[in-house]
Amino acid sequence: MRLRHLEMALERLEGFPAPSPALEQYRTPAVVAARLLHHAWSKGDIEGLVVLDLGCGTGILACGSMLAGARRAVGVDVDPAALATAGENARRLDVAVTFLQADISDHGKIGEAGPYDTVVMNPPFGAQKPHADRPFIDAALALAPTVYGIFNAGSREFLASYVAGRAEITEVVEARFPLRRTFRFHRDDVREIGVEIVRLVRQ
């Protein structure tokens, strides 16, 4: 699978129809989503496996997993409007993805569509609600043995201590990407942010 092909396919997807600041609905740029998926694929964590996208929003990681050869992909989000766009995006790429409306803390409901081999996620960074990423990390580790997440640059230490005794950080891939102005309180039209794509393996 070629990284550039995946990136080009994902660039065709629609973003959030009406992004909610409270839910931190930032679309993952195609270049970052493709990077995460290609890396996970190269580690053998996608092909032929069942992949769960937590906080899937418009479904870029779930749809991209199917393009990268997943056997099945499930996307979970609390927002029905985002899930409607996610469904359209899956049709656009001609991939079959199961989208499920659920809160991230409802492990039982999410688990019913499993079991899962790998979680891919771009959780809220906690800019609006401190520690909003924690229930995502908890859900991910409860639902799959291997997890790929996108976090703010510099999250490594917090993450390592937060998952201590439950999981190990086996890899960190650094990436930078331009964040387009999404909300009124954003001061700049485009701001470059640094992120870390982290691979966690359950102990």
- Which chain residues interact with ligand SAH by CB under 6 A? 23-28, 55-58, 60-61, 77-79, 82, 103-104, 122, 124
Residue 77 three-state SS: strand
Output 28 or 155, the one with its CB closest to ligand SAH.
28
Min dist CB 78 to ligand SAH, Å, is 4
Min dist CB 138 to ligand SAH, Å, is 11
Output 109 or 203, the one with its CB closest to ligand SAH.
109
Query: In whole angstroms, how far apart are CA 137 and each of 21, 55, 166?
Result: 20, 11, 11
Output 45 or 77, the one with its CB closest to ligand SAH.
77
Cite the DSSP H helix spans in 78-165: 80-93, 107-112, 134-143, 156-162
- Among residues 71, 62, 74, the alpha carbon closest in space to that of 110 is found at 74
Output 55 or 117, the one with its CB closest to ligand SAH.
55
Query: What are 34's two structure tokens?
Result: 């493709």
Output 8 or 164, the one with its CB closest to ligand SAH.
8
Min dist CB 203 to ligand SAH, Å, is 25
Query: What are 196's two structure tokens?
Result: 């870390």
Q: Collect contacts of 173-178 with beta carbons under 8 A, ≥24 apart.
A: 173/35, 173/36, 173/39, 173/197, 173/198, 175/31, 175/32, 175/35, 177/29, 177/31, 177/32, 178/29
Min dist CB 101 to ligand SAH, Å, is 9
Min dist CB 94 to ligand SAH, Å, is 19
